[in-house]
Chains A and B, each alone.
Chain A
Amino acid sequence: MAILVDKNTKLVVQGITGKQGRFHAQQMIEYGTNVVGGVRAGKGGEWVLGKPVFDTVKAAREATGANCSIIYVPAEGAADAILEALDAEIELIVCITEGIPIQDMMKVRAILDTSNSRLIGANCPGLLTPGQAKVGIMPGYIATPGPIGVVSKSGTLTYEAVYALTQRGIGQTTCVGIGGDPINGTSFLDVLQMFEEDPNTEKVVLIGEIGGTDEQKAADFIDKHMTKPVVAFIAGQRAPAGKTMGHAGALVEGNVGTAAEKIEKLKSVGVKVASYPEQIPDLIMQ
């Protein structure tokens, strides 16, 4: 068992003919993900990596029965790509693209809230269910199957944590990157709920960062609804206020969203908070 993606995922790649899309499509296929086709307007009928290319997501879905889409489209067209996938009623949409304007994402959000689809990201590394499916850009070899659910706002920091777990022989059910944008499709709460309900997940690692109040809300959720232990790490303790730290969402506004505030809140509900990423496996094993 796992959450969100597994052996039954039928994946279509939006932007499969681009440099990033093609490279990562190949990596996903090599990992064993069931990639059923790609989408690129104007290239329908062509073949890439032995997979059929379609002009639209709807056509791809009708021909292949795809239930999941991954988006490697540049920022200016990414919101449109998400809306297209929503319109085609794809159940799970994962958007890797970084740099989508916030107002575009607010409009996407308004449509998303009235649909039955789920969006992961944008500006995220995607999903990895070790041994079953990789939908995104996480390096497959760093993970191994096991009982830990991982949810994170960051890319390489997630790799660091997952790799540290794997090195110590602790495997993962699913690793979920929800992305570093201020407005995203799936929150910590959504994923925590899924891990709580997943019978194979025993413990959860949550990796957050400065900016916004998602981690504080996650703490409230953990307090009220989680029976499984959670270990957390929060990046950006030394970040100055008013400066965006790489991720558009990583911004301390006034006194809102500091690492100290988040760490304190998580600790107050019994979450063990690691001082540095490599300490996460120690806390998981306690």
Chain B
Amino acid sequence: MNLHEYQAKLRFAEFGIPVPRGKVAFNANEAYEIAKELGGVTVVKAQVHSGGRGKAGGVKVAKNPDEAREHASKILGMDIKGHTVNKVLIDPGANIKGEIYLAVTNDRAARKPLIMASSEGGMDIEEVNRTAPEKIKRIHINPLIGLRSYQITELASGINLPHDLWKQFEKIALGLYECYAASDATLCEINPLAVVEEYGQTILKALDGKMTIDGNGLGRHPELEALRDTSEEPQEEITARESDLSYVKLDGQIGCMVNGAGLAMATMDMTAHFGEQYGIGPANFLDVGGGADPEQVAAALRIILSDKNVKTILINIFGGITRCDDVARGIITAMNEVPTQLPIIVRLIGTNQEEGLAIINSANLTNMTGAKTLYEAAQKAVEAVRGAK
């Protein structure tokens, strides 16, 4: 789960990291009021779960409160890579002398936390990573003992940070690691960690922040779960989460219902394999879980049917421990609860598959067709979509 910039910075502040004292506005007038209260130059920043906000025109400097209002009215409602902006952060302007990049993340390959820093922070850090990866200093952390002072020294000297900033840098790096460890984060990123002149002093300040939380860790952080912004998620994905189903919306026409994540992906791939030449593909990823009981199947059907692009449903169940006759009964029950006229291709394989198919056949649902293999099921689903066109 991603946090918004303003949420991440508030969390960082709890761990002793200096952040600007900005506030969030939901409309242009609020933006004006906040800018007035802050005084002087402000920055109006779109709060959306998408990178590249600056380049998309979602971040603007305002000389006075009137300009802040003007910028906010333009940025609110803006579309950034498919995300609609519905709130902006108004931060005080800063006298920036330099931009550092600092992040803690999981290194999947090394199976350890990783802290990274670069003296070339700012908008082009991805470009730096691509063209000059040696400019990003990386240090692995033993998760049992945490980040140590000497490692921060290594980091600071590795990016040629002026000595007079080391003390501040150490406090921020330790705070960031603590924040990561205490939040079940998969990423805590400050970009830029700016070198700013304030009241005649040079200080480090987190002008932007990004945090991603491990979904599996959210259970023990209700305060972070409460920060979830559902306004940017497709309604189907929200409903699926509430029904404990794993669902990802895609843009094809074949609604897929499968048990198991790997098989669900393979089923999507198969529909695209046959359908691609006709512009036909999967409408979603949906793992109905190992059990595939009637309630789950009904919930899954409802979610698939709420996607208006869906022209055909493909149900692919491998009965391992689950019995196909149980699953078949679940499907029939769900069909009564959530009636549909769309063509449905059902493939049941594994334990009691003959009994399962017999139940499907005896229900005499005219829109339902059986299939023996995944190959055949995907082919039939593509044919059904073509027939419906």
Contacts and interface: CB of A to CB of B under 8 A. Distances in A.
Contacts of A213: 108-109
Interface in A140-166: 141-142, 152-160, 163
A275 B287 CA distance: 21
B268 A239 contact: yes
Contacts of A209: 261-262, 265
Given A139-B321, A154-B263, A236-B269, 10 more contacts: A142-B320, A155-B263, A155-B320, A156-B318, A157-B263, A163-B350, A244-B215, A247-B261, A248-B216, A276-B266
Interface in B271-303: 272-273, 281-282, 285, 287, 290
B349 interface: yes
Contacts of B290: 137, 155-156
Contacts of A99: 216
Contacts of B320: 137-139, 142, 155-156, 159
A150 to B, nearest CB: 13
B142 interface: yes
A200 B294 CA distance: 43
A246 B285 contact: yes
Contacts of B144: 107, 110-111
Contacts of A235: 262-263, 265-266, 269
A144 to B, nearest CB: 15
Given A160-B374, A238-B250, A277 B266 contact: yes
Contact of A103 (B217, B250, B262, B373): B217
B266 to A, nearest CB: 5
Interface residues of A, number: 59
A240 B250 contact: yes
Residue from A139, A210, A233, A249 having most chain B Cβ neighbours under 10 A: A139
A102 B186 contact: yes
Interface in B190-245: 214-217, 219-220
Interface in A237-253: 237-240, 243-250
Contact of A102 (B214, B219, B318, B321): B214
A183 interface: yes
Contacts of B250: 238, 240
- Interface of chain B, main secondary structure: mixed
A23 to B, nearest CB: 8
A101 B217 contact: yes
B184 A180 contact: no
Contacts, number: 171
Interface of B: 106, 108-109, 111-113, 142-144, 181, 184, 186, 214-217, 219-220, 246, 248, 250, 258-266, 268-270, 272-273, 281-282, 285, 287, 290, 318-321, 349-351, 373-375
Contacts of B186: 102
Contacts of B268: 236, 238-239
A46 interface: no
Contacts of B184: 101-103
B125 to A, nearest CB: 13
B22 to A, nearest CB: 27
Given A101-B217, A102-B214, A246-B287, A238 B373 contact: no
A27 interface: yes
Interface of A: 23-24, 27, 75-76, 99-103, 105-107, 109-111, 137-139, 141-142, 152-160, 163, 180, 182-183, 207, 209-210, 212-213, 233, 235-240, 243-250, 259, 275-278
Contacts of B287: 246
B143 A103 contact: yes
B199 to A, nearest CB: 39
B263 A239 contact: no
Q: Which 8 A-B pairs have the closest CB atoms?
A: A154-B262, A246-B261, A156-B260, A157-B262, A101-B217, A235-B265, A139-B320, A156-B263
Nearest to B264: A246
